[in-house]
Chains A and B, each alone.
Chain A
Amino acid sequence: MIKVPEHKEPQHNLVSEKFLSPSKLYLPLAQHTGAPSLPCVKKGDIVDQGDVIANARGLISSQLHAPKKGKIIDIANWYHPTLKKSPAIIIQCQDEEKEYLPRDNKDIESLSKEKILETIANHGIVGMGGAAFPTHVKLNPPKKIDTLIINGCECEPYLACDYRLMIEKMKEIFMGIKLICKLINPKEVIFAIEENKPEAIKKINLFISTNKIELPPIHSFVLNTAYPQGGEKQLIQLITKKKIPPRKLPLDVGCLVHNVATCFAIYQAIYLDKPLIERLVSFCGDGLVTPRNIWVKIGTTLKELIDKKILEFRKDPKKIICGGPMMGIALDSLDYPILKNAGGFLFLADGIDSAKEEPCLRCNRCVDTCPMNLLPLEYVKRIKKNNYSSLAEFNITDCIECGCCTYGCPAKIPIVHYIKTGKNYVINNK
């Protein structure tokens, strides 16, 4: 665990805005962990807002919906943050915006577990904290869950979308949590949050104490601000003192972790019958005139936000990052679309670190900060010598690529980069 500069101001205090009228949307078929969705529309089709445009393929997959009414103009390769280029459905949008009205509470009370799960699956909900794992799979665990952890940590610097969501939509988040509880029936619910989010902590405690929403025993758990404790394994370790064994899942230690934004998406799916077609995204960094938290349609490109003056450059950014600065991916163009799991985009103009790599001093900072008890410097030493065969015995595949090692390295060695190379080798040569 490390302390990193938070850079959460001013976006922490910026009320969320909306940009729901893009002209074109680019929707990659692979927006979730698992098999990419299978398109069920063809070029030239007219789709309504919320229509399914691609179906789940296989057990671990997800549905994709049209975020706007419009015409399918193509299904072709398009920019994708992790896959570089990948098939995407491209929609020419019309300006109309559909309104979603809340359903009667009584109808929802009477919903069966199966029906809720089916609705979540049909509405294309995936984990919105970053991993984008299909939520309906996670909510149908083969084992009994004791502890449900709601993750409101947002430990990546800069990002503020989860914080804003908690402040503005806490009631809806709690209604989402209630639905999750109905599905998995946990013994307790723990709402995890970092101490640098005081307003949200107040809100959580208020909701818990007034008990407006019936839930199993629920506590808030305020963590000292540190990185990367928003990671699933770290969070479970900190809260329950249980460590997830290698190659095991949270459910193997009786835990389940859900991001606050996912809870909100579940609420929308069940109460409003609204699929996952929008999300709150933080746009920040010194390259922008002002940072903003904006509700955008999934599939909106950065270029469109710039062209429509939703975002304005203070000065040409040198680096654009999809995600936070610790684990985010550097983008090479403005044509990338916003995906279901993208919580933020950084536009950095000044102080881009381009320090040269120096010899390792074996100073152990990487060893001391590694949350997974690994020896990052040993990987670098071996990978530099092309000695890949000994990597597996050092458990290189346990690495969660949080970047703590690289952050603190005085020799400026891109350790994560080396580890990714080594991991690929180990995985491909099993």
Chain B
Amino acid sequence: MSLIISSPPHLKSRLSTSYLMKQVMIALLPAVIASIYFFGIRAVLLIANCTFTALITERIILLLRKKPSTLNDYSAAVTGLLLALTLPPSVTWYAASLGSIVAISIGKHIFGGLGANIFNPALIGRAFLMAAYPKMLTTFIKPNSVDAISSATPLILRKFSQVITPNSSLFFGKVSGSLGETSAICLIIGGLYLLIRKVAGWRIPLSLLLTTTISSIILYLINPSWGSIWFHLFSGGLLLGAFFMATDPVTTPTTKKGRYIFGIGCGILIMIIRYFGGLPEGVMYSILFMNALTPLINRYTKPRRFGT
């Protein structure tokens, strides 16, 4: 009889990295379906392009780093998928591929791969494209249009034309915008799924959304033409960011208190950019900025010692 010796506990949950990543993809499914419904074949191609480029890049870099393949943990696939959902549907194939390559290589592996990166890889990819192709990344098309008529997003309309899009269009997603961010209801379903399955923590999304809600109430009372609570919650990348980007465990604080601070910080920055900044939307930069602050937040929010 040969007996296995290992340190306790001898009972372990069935939770695994690949399970968590698969759950994130399942949670993104409603948004993916909505994007295909609104943007058709462009959505399919863009998602496929980003995801496959991410997987290939991951494989090549792991070969170069002489590390075993970790494609089956699905983390690269999630990064590719998330990047696709943050890009305008009309983005060219080479830009999308390039974004995906940058996301995996510079966003993730430069720092040491899974678990070691400081910034959200998908957002690094998008930020790179924003700098490289600013025109392409700010040109959006109308949903359900065959020949890609360009059209402004609700946040652009609000900021530069003082036009407020009706809540129902925002809620169901019949507005122009990035691939996966248009339909609020699909993102809420996916986000709630993540929270109920305990894949993502609730502290960051809750504090982020509460902060935006409260600040939009205050600002709405000051000037109603700045947009209502519903407008600010359902437009732009807020829900996608709150549920899927700001909950990325790797790049957010580890302490409970720190996670509230992270969410509140993101919420405040998003509203500052939306109301007072030069850009119509600020989810990406807010989350990246708070990612950079994460080590500092961790340091100052160490939990109170038991019994003191």
Contacts and interface: CB of A to CB of B under 8 A. Distances in A.
Contacts of B15: 365, 408-410
Tell me if B's interface is mostly helix, strand, loop or mixed.
Answer: loop
B249 A246 contact: no
A352 interface: yes
Interface in A372-428: 372-375, 377-378, 394-395, 398, 401, 403, 406-412, 414, 416-417, 420
A5 B8 contact: no
A348 B16 CA distance: 22
A328 B115 contact: no
Nearest to A367: B254
Contacts of B256: 367-368
A328 B8 contact: yes
B161 interface: no
A364 interface: yes
Nearest to B12: A353
Residue from B3, B249, B254, B307 with most neighbouring chain A CB atoms (10 Å): B307
Nearest to B303: A373
Interface string B11-30: 11101110110000000000
Residue from A319, A352, A368, A410 with most neighbouring chain B CB atoms (10 Å): A410
B1 interface: yes
A99 B241 CA distance: 73
Given A364-B249, A412-B16, A406 B9 contact: yes
A367 B6 contact: no
A330 B13 contact: no
Contact of B9 (A331, A374, A416): A416
Nearest to A393: B302
B7 A417 contact: yes
Interface string B26-50: 0000000000000000000000000
Nearest to A363: B249
Q: How large is the interface on A (under 10, 10 to 19, 20 to 34, 35 or more residues)?
A: 35 or more
B5 A332 contact: yes
B3 A374 contact: no
B223 interface: no
A320 interface: yes
Given A325-B11, A377-B254, A407-B11, A398 B306 contact: yes
A359 B10 contact: no
A361 B16 contact: no
B116 A359 contact: yes
A362 B255 CA distance: 10
Interface string A304-341: 00000000000011111100011111111110000000
A364 B16 contact: no
A403 B6 contact: no
B254 A233 contact: no
A327 B8 contact: yes
B39 to A, nearest CB: 31
B5 A330 contact: yes
Contacts of B9: 325-327, 403, 406-407, 416
B134 to A, nearest CB: 32
Interface string A1-34: 0001100000000000000000000000000000
Contacts of A364: 201, 249, 254, 259
Interface in B270-303: 302-303
B204 to A, nearest CB: 10
A348 to B, nearest CB: 7
A359 B114 contact: yes
A358 B73 contact: yes
A75 interface: no
A319 B6 CA distance: 9
B131 interface: no
B250 A317 contact: no
A316 B306 contact: no
Interface string A337-354: 000000000101000111
B146 interface: no
B304 interface: yes
Contact of A319 (B3, B201, B250): B3
Contacts of A246: 305-308
Contacts of B113: 359
A414 B9 CA distance: 8
Contacts of B250: 361-362
B254 A416 contact: no
A361 B13 contact: no
B274 to A, nearest CB: 29
Contact of B10 (A321, A377, A411): A321
The 8 closest A-B pairs by CB, nearest first: A403-B9, A359-B115, A245-B307, A325-B11, A243-B307, A417-B7, A363-B249, A373-B303
19 contacts: A319-B4, A320-B3, A326-B9, A329-B8, A330-B3, A330-B8, A332-B3, A354-B4, A358-B16, A359-B113, A363-B249, A364-B259, A373-B306, A408-B15, A409-B12, A410-B19, A412-B16, A414-B6, A414-B7
Given A330-B6, A362-B250, A367-B254, 4 more contacts: A317-B3, A363-B20, A407-B11, A412-B12
